[in-house]
Amino acid sequence: MSSRFRNSFVAIALLALVCGCDRDRQEPRGKPLGETVPMAAAPDTIFPGGGRPAPLDARAAAYEGNAYAIAQGQQLFTWMNCVGCHSHGGGGMGPALMDGKWRYGGRIDQIVASIANGQPNGMPSWRGKLTSQQIWQLAAYVRTLSGQARKDSVGARAETMSNSPPQTQTIRKPVKPADSAQQ
Amino acid sequence: MRRILAGIVAIVALAVIVAAVLGAARPRHDALATTDYGSQSPAKAVPAADASPPDDGNWTMPGKDYASTRFSALSQVNRGNVGKLQVAFTVSTGTTEGFEAPPLVVHNTMYIVTPWPNTVFALDLTKPGAPAKWVYRPNTAAAAKGVACCGPVNRGAVYADGKLFLNLLDGHAVALDANSGTELWRTQVADIQKGETITMAPLVAAGKVLVGNSGGEMGVRGRLTALDEGSGKIAWIGYTTGPDKDVLIGPDYKPPYPKDAGKDLGVTTWPPEMWKIGGGSVWGWLSYDPKLKLVYYGTSNPGPWNSQQRPGDNKFTAGVFARDIDTGKVRWFYQSTPHDLYDHDDINEIVLADVPGPNGQRIPAMLRPSRNGFFYVQDRRTGRVLSATPYSYINVYKGVDLKTGQLVRVPGMEPQQGRVLRNICPASPGAKDWNPSAFSPVTGLVYIPHINLCQDMGISNANYIAGTPFVGADVKMYAGPGANRGVFTAWDPIARRKVFEIKEDLPLWSPALATGGGLVFYGTMDGWFKAIDARTGKLLWQFKTASGIIGQPISYRGPDGRQYIAVPSGVGGWAGAIVTADLDPDDPTAALGFVNAVKDLKKRVAAGGVVYVFALPK
């Protein structure tokens, strides 16, 4: 085996390792993030004087597309009865979460705000019932329902009983912004 | 002898003249309304006389009368001229949720109740275009929509004694002055924080307003509350589950079968404490027999849908109660579906009719096209089942044992955790859901608008969290045998057979109306309002309304003496949620699995909220 080949093999293995780790990176000893729910910019909002929506919450990076967070969120989605209203993304008592249309914003921090605060047409407020971390995990899972997360971070097996397609086959639906705050 | 003969002739002549004078003085509708429909054929069912008074041309409650016949004796529109029926006027309600409530007509005023936010319009029918006399806006809580399992619908108001009674989605019963729209009282009878809403129409009788709660999918504890008609104060509460003192079971309780006898069955037929969150809500239809002073109604499915979490008969869910209206005490209870496995509520309409008995006598009975697919004829004095016959395709039940009253299941069709059970017929909405049948005393037939759906079902552990769904099931529905999702069946309750059936492509979610003109009306989810021949089922007239029809059609006599037919158009409810809530057909389990059965609906119909009123040309 030539050394060049060995080198490129090592390089590829290293690259795979780095990418592979990234998708379910956990930082148990990292700098703790603030345990508060973000004040995400409301969707469909006018910023008088031509202001801009708040930037994406810094914590989003730790949850968005993170396999561990998504897997935890998926369990919570059933355990906390989210599934009873939103089904497996198609909706029911609550709106669909897989169609890219967002009444109250489809950015992960906006979804976190909706889960924590509730919304006026029947969405319950989970603040104080779930930890902030759990709420972020749920939001990370909710983002996968419309295919927003990387395919290597979602579960390849459908959790549902009635042959819904698995997450890896969910087609990405562009989040339809009510305004620029949702991008 | 001759003198006697002359006397007799004179008396007869006098009688004839008196009869002629009386007959001429009577308004023409009475002639029809007092017809003894039963005398035409002794083998027919006839409406319970005390619960079904002669038609006065009004429509004061959703079921038309206490017997829930949904029959109008008006006959101006008939098989010969119905083809000429045309729009008289229309009213927009400004709502786009499922529109189930029938308009009411009393003293030349039409009352329309909308789905959430439960606005009431009172329209003056004596003026052109029916302008509003008053509009009532109750400010119903928007959060209630989040705990209404199957659309924020309302099934109608009731007019009685100058007052209008209705229920608000957020758990309040209200009484309005029918003349002014002023709110007379408002009583909270359900709590949205526990997942309770009210979608049913109240029943008003014997000075009581009877109101039930919805939330069989939210782990509520079902109950019927009786309010004082004048003050709105709670007179009694009869729970569906719990100890006998809560269910109001006492010495008067006479169970029709030994299986329904015992102490505190509302506790002992459940795992510990599960009766407190066991459903059995009261969201459907009530009937009332003024002679027996009994109110009849069915209870919803037990919760959660995952039946392995609640071994036992789960009393007193998925069955029929007969309660004394003054005290609420239970007279009898019959459990149609013990330990329900598939969400087969028993809340459907109960038609009070007298049926021919074996020795030529008339048996006071009730006719019930049930959600589990059987058409029950029961003695309404005792609850004993006289017959129970499938009126739709069933593969999970074999039949009903008339000796024990027990529903007999097909083995192997019990859902189990961790696996998917396929081809369950009928599906969760049953052979027929909430939308009531009509009963025509002219033909003696029950006209059943219903559905033909089967489903796959997988169950999993459900956690109880107050104010959230308590279901534990993934469901995927699809068309049953024949691929038609809806069926309209004319059923002979005595011969126990269908007389005709009409296959409809979409699930039928609209109630039916039968009239003295030999007609039956119903609507489809894509908006066609149809009139058929009550004897043959032949389509005689149809009109395409703006949205889909899931609401109760009615017939009334207008101030000009003409017969009018009115129907709400506004798709929605469980079956139409895909349209009103913009659900995503890519998820077959959406709306508790109903979305998979109506994937095409968004293309075929849009939401709306309009009342159409039809009449013959002048």
Kindly state the tokens that stand for A158: 């459908």
Is residue B551 exposed (0-12), middle (13-18) or buried (19+ Cβ within 10 Å)? buried
pLDDT the model gives residue B363: 96
pLDDT tens digit sequence for B182-202: 999 999 999 999 999 999 999
pLDDT the model gives residue B175: 98
pLDDT tens digit sequence for A76-127: 999 999 999 999 999 999 999 999 888 888 999 999 999 999 999 999 999 9
The answer to whether residue B261 scores a pLDDT higher than 70 is yes
Which among B456, B465, B587 has CB closest to A87?
B587
Q: Is A90 on the interface with B (CB under 8 A)?
A: yes
Chain B residues within 8 angstroms (CB to CB) of chain A: 142-149, 217, 419-420, 456-460, 462-463, 465, 467-471, 473-476, 577, 581-593, 595
Which among A89, A92, A124 has CB closest to B591?
A92
CB contact under 8 A, B587 and A91: yes
Q: Is A157 on the interface with B (CB under 8 A)?
A: no
The answer to whether residue B66 scores a pLDDT higher than 50 is yes
**Strand B513-515 and strand B71-72: pairing?**
parallel
Which amino acids of B are annotated catalytic? 217, 301, 343
Q: Which residues contact A134 (CB under 8 A, 6 or more apart)?
A: A72, A73, A76
Q: Which residues contact B248 (CB under 8 A, 6 or more apart)?
A: B236, B238, B239, B323, B327, B328, B329, B330
CA distance B281 to B194: 13
pLDDT the model gives residue A162: 54
Summarize the confidence of residues A40-63 as an average pLDDT.
78
Q: Across all residues in chain B, what is the average pLDDT?
A: 94
- Which SS3 state, helix, strand or coil, does residue B387 take? strand
DSSP label of A82: H
Residue in chain B closest to A161 (alpha carbons) equals: B458
Comparison of pLDDT for A21 and B455, the residue scoring more:
B455
At residue A22 the predicted structure's pLDDT band, cuts being 50, 70 and 90, is low
The answer to whether residue B33 scores a pLDDT higher than 80 is no
How many C-alpha atoms does B86 have within 13 Å on its Cβ side? 4
Question: What ipTM is given for this predicted complex?
Answer: 0.89
At residue A35 the predicted structure's pLDDT band, cuts being 50, 70 and 90, is low
The answer to whether residue B441 scores a pLDDT higher than 50 is yes
CA distance B240 to B453: 28
User: Which of B17-21, B237-241, B255-259, B453-457 is predicted with the least confidence, judged by mean pLDDT?
Assistant: B17-21
Closest CA to B257 of B332, B338, B320, B350: B332
The type of residue at B500 is F
Closest CA to B37 of B49, B27, B28: B49
pLDDT the model gives residue B30: 38
pLDDT the model gives residue B5: 55
pLDDT the model gives residue A60: 92
- Which SS3 state, helix, strand or coil, does residue B518 take? coil
At residue A9 the predicted structure's pLDDT band, cuts being 50, 70 and 90, is low
* Chain A residues whose beta carbon lies within 8 Å of the beta carbon of residue B592: 87, 92
Q: Is A160 on the interface with B (CB under 8 A)?
A: yes
Which among A122, A123, A161 has CB closest to B460?
A161
Q: State the count of interchain CB pairs (< 8 A) between A and B.
A: 131
Contact assessment for residue B488 and residue B537, using Cβ atoms and an 8 Å cutoff: yes
CA distance B168 to B184: 15
Q: Is the peptide bond before B27 cis (omega within 30 degrees of 0)?
A: no
Q: Residue B486: what are its φ and ψ, rounded to 5°?
A: -125, 155
Distance between alpha carbon B487 and the CA centroid of its chain, in Å?
A: 17
The answer to whether residue A179 scores a pLDDT higher than 60 is no
The answer to whether residue A157 scores a pLDDT higher than 80 is no
**CATH level 3 topology of B35-615:** Methanol Dehydrogenase; Chain A (2.140.10)
Is residue B7 exposed (0-12), middle (13-18) or buried (19+ Cβ within 10 Å)? exposed
CA distance B131 to B125: 8
Summarize the confidence of residues B537-549 as an average pLDDT.
98
Kind and range of the H or E element at B610?
strand B610-615
The type of residue at B231 is S
CA distance A82 to A72: 14
Sketch out chain A's domains with CATH numbers: 56-182 (1.10.760.10)
At residue B20 the predicted structure's pLDDT band, cuts being 50, 70 and 90, is very low
pLDDT the model gives residue B8: 56
pLDDT the model gives residue A140: 96
| Residue in the block written with tokens 């309750």 | B493
Q: Is A123 on the interface with B (CB under 8 A)?
A: yes
Contact assessment for residue B588 and residue A162, using Cβ atoms and an 8 Å cutoff: yes
Q: pTM of the full predicted structure?
A: 0.91
